Amino acid sequence: MPIRHLSGPNAPYQIYISEIMSQQTQISVVLERYFTPFLKAFPTLHALACAPLERVLCLWRGLGYYARAKHLHQSAQICCQRYGGQLPQDYTALRALPGIGAYSARAILCFGFRQAVGVVDANVARVLLRLFAITPQRAKLASILQERADAFVNPLNPFDHNQALIDLGALVCTKQPQCAICPLSFACQGKDALEKFTQYKKSVSIALDLHCGLCVQKRKLYLCYATQGLYAHLYQFPLLKNQELITLPLLGSVRHSYTKYRVHAMLYQANLEDLQPQGLELVDVHALNDLPTSALSTKLWAVCQRHLKV
Ligand code: SF4
């Protein structure tokens, strides 16, 4: 992967972008479609800080979880004000930046600044639990795993060490581990009692039906623009006032997942009075491709295009 060969003074920024983009999105998708155009548009932290938020959100289209893009933009501005346009090389200062959690901070320190810290993602956690025979029910499990990872890291080459552990967890020490080919097998304390040293997570999902309206007037359509909350600064298809017993013509539907929600969004031909009125704006149909829209609305827009023939 190209991000494994980044070096030079701008590498921490590039690692930062790749880590934030891949938080909720597969790294292969990030690298294929988003990473390079984003860095081309904003090659440095300073360029990102100076860009209008709307432009940053437009380049984030399709990645979803737009709070990540807003936090990146905010963090870039803080770094320009406080750290001369560079990311700080210190864990506490990195954690204080919006959107940088424990994992991302350590990934930036190790992969960007080559510091000897353990990087524990879900794959590495699985390896460590088994390798050191740690029962997952223990209190403060995250701290225990981090301490183990920090003590285990190779101080001479933390970059390769952490990348190798991530790969081992992703490819060998999986749900069905291949202990026979594992290079850590000789030292693994948990391989004969895998059940005991594996964390099983229950996935809870909530089904959500949303009924949205398409209302077009003279090549313009009504969208909802929020100024606050999860969807702040994004355009979305407006919800219908009435979310039950709908008699409007159905144009199509899409499915979308975020966090624990499995959304089934249906789009209806609607009149202005059918729409929830908050934040409504008339937008030119041809401008929509250049506006920041939520991932769900991007999917609904594809449904619209079939009907509007644009
Ligand atoms: S020996 Fe098996 S359980 Fe232990 S780290 Fe390797 S793959 Fe995982």
Atom of ligand 1 nearest to the CA of 185: 1
Q: How large is the average pLDDT for residues 176-181?
A: 96
Atom of ligand 1 nearest to the CA of 126: 8
Measured in whole angstroms, the distance separating CA 53 from the mean position of its chain's CA atoms is: 18
Residue 132 or residue 301, greater confidence? 132
The rounded Å distance from CA 290 to ligand 1 centre is 48
pLDDT at 215 over 60: yes
State whether the beta carbon of 128 lies less than 6 angstroms from ligand 1: no
Q: How confident is the model at residue 56 (pLDDT cuts 50, 70, 90)?
A: very high
The rounded Å distance from CA 83 to ligand 1 centre is 42
What is the domain-level CATH number for residue 241?
Answer: 3.90.79.10
Range of the domain at 185: 116-201
Model pTM score: 0.77
Pocket test for ligand 1, best of 132, 148, 172 (most atoms within 8 A of CB): 172
Whole-number pLDDT of residue 306? 77
Q: 174, 201, 228 — which closes off a domain?
A: 201
Decide if 19 is catalytic.
yes
Q: 148, 182, 201 — which closes off a domain?
A: 201
State whether the beta carbon of 173 lies less than 6 angstroms from ligand 1: yes
1 and 59 part of one domain: yes
The rounded Å distance from CA 198 to ligand 1 centre is 11
pLDDT at 50 over 60: yes
Q: 173, 201, 229 — which closes off a domain?
A: 201
Which residues make Cβ contacts (< 8 Å) with residue 114, sequence separation at least 6? 158, 159
Rounded distance, CA 63 to CA 69, Å? 9
81 and 52 part of one domain: yes
State whether the beta carbon of 191 lies less than 6 angstroms from ligand 1: yes
pLDDT at 174 over 80: yes
Residue whose CA is at the smallest distance from ligand 1 atom 2: 179
pLDDT at 310 over 60: no
151 and 215 part of one domain: no
Whole-number pLDDT of residue 205? 83
Rounded distance, CA 108 to CA 119, Å? 9
The rounded Å distance from CA 169 to ligand 1 centre is 9
In order of 55, 224, 245, 280, 298, the CA distances from 215 in angstroms are 26, 11, 19, 11, 16
Q: How large is the average pLDDT for residues 220-229?
A: 88
State whether the beta carbon of 164 lies less than 6 angstroms from ligand 1: no
Residue whose CA is at the smallest distance from ligand 1 atom 1: 185
Residues 116-160: pLDDT tens digits? 999 999 999 999 999 999 999 988 999 999 999 999 999 999 999
Min mean pLDDT across 21-25, 56-60, 195-199, 282-286 is at 21-25
191 and 296 part of one domain: no
Whole-number pLDDT of residue 4? 75
Residues 70-127: pLDDT tens digits? 999 999 999 999 999 999 999 999 999 999 999 999 999 999 999 999 999 999 999 9
140 and 43 part of one domain: no
Burial of 195 from C-beta contacts in 10 A (0-12 / 13-18 / 19+): exposed
Atom of ligand 1 nearest to the CA of 197: 3
Instruction: Report the DSSP pairing between strands 280-284 and 220-225.
Output: antiparallel
Question: Helix/strand/coil (H, E, C) string of the chain?
Answer: CHHHHCCCCCHHHHHHHHHHHCCCCCHHHHHHHHHHHHHHHCCCHHHHHHCCHHHHHHHCCCCCCCHHHHHHHHHHHHHHHHCCCCCCCCHHHHHCCCCCCHHHHHHHHHHHCCCCCCCCCHHHHHHHHHHCCCCCCCCCHHHHHHHHHHHHCCCCCHHHHHHHHHHHHHHCCCCCCCHHHCCCHHHCCCCCCCCCCCCCCCCCCEEEEEEEEECEECCEEEEEECCCCCCCCCEECCEECCCCCCCCCEEEEEEEEECCEEEEEEEEECCHHHECCCCEEEEEHHHHHHCCECHHHHHHHHHHHHHHCC
Rounded distance, CA 225 to CA 209, Å? 21
Residue 266 or residue 289, greater confidence? 266
Please pick, among 19, 32, 147, 281, the residue that the annotation labels catalytic: 19
Average pLDDT, the chain: 91
Q: How confident is the model at residue 161 (pLDDT cuts 50, 70, 90)?
A: very high
State whether the beta carbon of 124 lies less than 6 angstroms from ligand 1: no
Which residues make Cβ contacts (< 8 Å) with residue 224, sequence separation at least 6? 235, 236, 237, 238, 239, 276, 278, 279, 280, 281
Q: How confident is the model at residue 2 (pLDDT cuts 50, 70, 90)?
A: low
The rounded Å distance from CA 128 to ligand 1 centre is 9
State whether the beta carbon of 179 lies less than 6 angstroms from ligand 1: yes
100 and 14 part of one domain: yes
Whole-number pLDDT of residue 309? 61
- How many distinct structural domains can be found in the chain? 3
Whole-number pLDDT of residue 134? 96
Q: How large is the average pLDDT for residues 12-33?
A: 89
State whether the beta carbon of 177 lies less than 6 angstroms from ligand 1: yes
The rounded Å distance from CA 112 to ligand 1 centre is 28
What is the domain-level CATH number for residue 47?
Answer: 1.10.340.30
181 and 210 part of one domain: no
